[in-house]
Amino acid sequence: MEHLAVKKAVTESYAPSKEGKLAPELHMFSPLARGADRLAAQAALDLHYDLSVPMPFAQAEYEKDFTGSDKDHPEEVPLAAHQDLEEFRHLLAQSSAQMTIDSRRNAEPSGEDVSAYAYEAVGRFVVRHCDLLIAVWDGSHGNGRGGTADIVHYAAVSGVPIWWIHAEREADPIWLSDIQDLRDPLPVSESPEQKLHTHLARLIPAPPRVRRHHNNWIGRLASVHREKNVSPASVYFSEEPKPSNPIWKTYSKLMAWASGCKPRYPQVHEPVEPIARYWFRHYQTADSRASQYAARYRSSYVWVISLTTLSVIIGALALSLLRVKEEWSRVLAVCELATLIFIVLVVWASLRYEWHERSIEYRLLAELFRKQETLASLGWSLSIGHVQHLADTQRLSWVSWLFAAMQRSAPLPQASKMDNETARAMLQHLIDEQITYHRDREKMSLNAAERFEGLGGLAFGIVLLCVILKVGSEAINGLPYMVLALAVMAIILPGISAACLAIRSYAELQLLAEQSRYMISELEHSRIRVARLNISRPLVSQDLGAEAAIVGTTMLQDLEGWGRLFRGKLMEA
């Protein structure tokens, strides 16, 4: 791991400014339980790792469990109670960070002891915050809730690879990367060391550069004097704020006019807690960049559709007026050429500066940061495995890589510093904000879709009427200018009808409305579950964290659906 971390390509990826030499910071998470936990922690300290210690209870309460060697485990090295406690305190004093899952150890009203649940919570905390789980385990399943078997199973399901060292017999380590490796292991094709190296080589260095592909002549023109292989992560760090321009507000103004409403976006405020502030500041940067590129891309396709319609109308008018007044026809031909050139310039800019791709990538990154801001305040985190599933393309792989890097360098969450009532209120506020946003988005999408559909149908109906009147006028030898006016209307209105339907179809307004309807239903169920939580119960902070994780996953699924919906909609002339 350290060998990979000091490579030049890796240090440059983690320090784009190249100011000085970057030293790797390696971390070990361990609750410092007696035995294997402490052996691994001491080995990590000897290798100059930073040690972070999550504890199931406050330190004074946790220390009550250190009573020396367990007579039920004769294989353990004999250890008196005071030696057990001194060993724990010695390692804890060398740690760089500590956190408490729950400050109390009380029994449930039913009389059930919650200790096992607390140990399970701390084990799962370790899994959610690690890239590799080291398990010294005998392979049995009899050590109950929160035991080694339970945590190994949780890691395998979560997609966190496991380096399994057998606790009772001399054997080579075993690499576990999937739940099926526990149930139905495959024949060994690579050594555990090779698999570990492959995993770390994929995890630590920045993703490989992405080759830009453009199939049409405008795309190839946009690629002139531009690097063919690009690192999206490097591009992200080199971004500068974009100047404001009314032309990039076209889409938002059009949708506000068509729908008669505007979604109320959640108000954001910088939090006080260090861990939440850390994620909030990263969110602000990514959100600003995503919004800028989204405004450019969405407005650009409105302009392209509108200008394409205009060019068709101008061309048809030029042909119609050719016999009436040749000078008008020439002027219209020049206007048509100018319109087409402007279309090419808009498409060229969209492809060259990757407005579409960057808007999706930066939005995914921003939303990951925003969800993690909430989860970290509750002592939870997003699963790296789930994030990698969202960023499942070569182009998006840098998003999960950067998020994982930010997560490793983040302060250790301190869930116990927030009282449960405040935590619930914070989570309910997040849910209410999202419900309000999706109700507004559903209303806006449905209203806009109805308006565009109505305009398209109205324009087509008027076209039909104009054609009927034109045919009738020609049959009775009507005024030439009246016939010409009707002919012009019959040319213009189909273009307007087509433009309305094209914008409605391209914006996928109906699908966005259905997606918001689904999100409202899921979020309302979450709101009910959060409201029903008994906040006086021990370890309710874990229930709040679990609900926050469910809400975060639901919101990311909305983003995933939105991203997949629009990922293939590249701007083409």
| Residues whose CB is less than 8 angstroms from the CB of residue 26 and which lie 6 or more positions away in sequence, other chains included | 1, 2, 5, 44, 47, 48, 49, 50
Highest mean pLDDT out of 33-37, 282-286, 483-487, 546-550: 282-286
HSE-CB for 423 with a 13 A CA cutoff: 28
39-83 residue pLDDT tens:
999 999 999 999 999 999 889 989 998 888 765 555 566 778 889
Where residue 244 falls among pLDDT bands split at 50, 70, 90? confident
User: Which H or E run includes 546?
Assistant: helix 540-567
Locate tokens 């109700």: which residue?
A: 439
Tens-digit pLDDT profile for residues 508-528: 888 889 989 999 999 999 999
* The pair of three-digit structure tokens given for residue 324, joined into one six-digit string: 């009436």
How sure is the predictor about 17, in pLDDT bands with cuts at 50, 70 and 90? Answer: very low
Q: Between 19 and 312, whose confidence is greater?
A: 312
- Region 551-567: mean pLDDT is 69
Residue-wise pLDDT for 183-203, tens only, equals: 777 777 888 889 888 888 888
Quick one: pLDDT at residue 113?
Answer: 65
Beta carbons of 544 and 531 less than 8 angstroms apart = no
Q: What is the DSSP string of 377-395?
A: HTT----HHHHHHHS-STT
pLDDT surpasses 80 at 292:
yes
Residue pair 370/556 in contact by the 8 Å Cβ criterion: no
Average pLDDT over residues 202-210: 80
> At 38, is the pLDDT very low, low, confident or very high (cuts 50, 70, 90)?
very high
Residue 105 has pLDDT above 90, yes or no: no
Backbone angles phi, psi at 27, to 5 degrees: -125, 145
pLDDT at 571: 45
pLDDT given at position 400: 86
The per-residue pLDDT for 328 is: 75
Q: What mean pLDDT value characterizes the chain?
A: 82
Contact present, 121 and 56 (Cβ < 8 Å): yes
Is residue 428 within 8 A of residue 527, CB to CB? The reply is yes
Give, to the nearest 10 degrees, the angle between helix 509-532 and helix 540-567: 180
Q: Is the pLDDT of residue 326 over 50?
A: yes
For 52-109, give the DSSP string: EEEESS-HHHHGGG--SS-TT-TTSPP--HHHHHHHHHHHHHT-SEEEES-S---B-T
Is the confidence at residue 286, as pLDDT, over 90?
A: yes
Among 127-141, 263-277, 414-428, name the most confident range.
127-141
Cα(506)–Cα(496) distance, integer angstroms: 15
Asked if pLDDT for residue 448 goes beyond 90, the answer is yes
Q: Which of 83, 117, 82 is nearest to 101 (CA)?
A: 117
Q: Stretch 120-139: mean pLDDT, rounded?
A: 90
More confident residue, 367 or 19: 367
Helix 81-93 and helix 36-46, axial crossing angle in degrees, nearest 10: 30
Residues 211-247: b if buried by 16+ CB within 10 A, e if exposed = ebeeeeebbeebeeeeeeeebbbeebeeeeeeeeeee
SS (H, E, C) 277-330: HHHHHHHHHHHHHHHHHHHHHHHHHHHHHHHHHHHHHHHHHHHHHCCCCHHHHH
Pick the closest to residue 258 from 498, 461, 455 (CA basis): 455
Average pLDDT of the segment spanning 5-33: 67
- Least confidently predicted of 30-34, 394-398, 471-475, 547-551: 471-475
Residues 374 and 426: beta-carbon distance below 8 Å? yes
Residue 325 pLDDT more than 80? no
Q: What is the 3-state secondary structure (H, E, C) of 437-489?
A: HHHHHHHHHHHHHHHHHHHHHHHHHHHHHHHHHHHHHHHCCCCHHHHHHHHHH
Residues of the chain with pLDDT > 90: what percent? 28
Strand partners, 211: 229
Q: Average pLDDT for residues 123-140, to the nearest whole number?
A: 89
Q: What is the mean pLDDT of residues 113-121?
A: 83
pLDDT of residue 86: 94
How sure is the predictor about 257, in pLDDT bands with cuts at 50, 70 and 90?
very high
The pTM (predicted TM-score) of the whole model is 0.84
Give the model's confidence band at 133: pLDDT under 50 very low, under 70 low, under 90 confident, else very high: very high
Residue of higher predicted confidence among 269 and 260: 260
State the pLDDT at residue 288: 93
- Which CATH code for domain 2-203? 3.40.50
CB distance 403 to 368 below 8 Å: yes
Helix (H, G, I), strand (E, B) or coil at 407: helix
Does the pLDDT of residue 351 top 80, yes or no? yes
Residue ranges per structural domain of the chain? 2-203, 273-567
Range with lowest mean pLDDT among 159-163, 264-268, 324-328: 324-328
- 464 band by pLDDT with thresholds 50, 70 and 90: confident
Q: What pLDDT is stored for residue 573 in this prediction?
A: 38
DSSP classification of residue 111: S
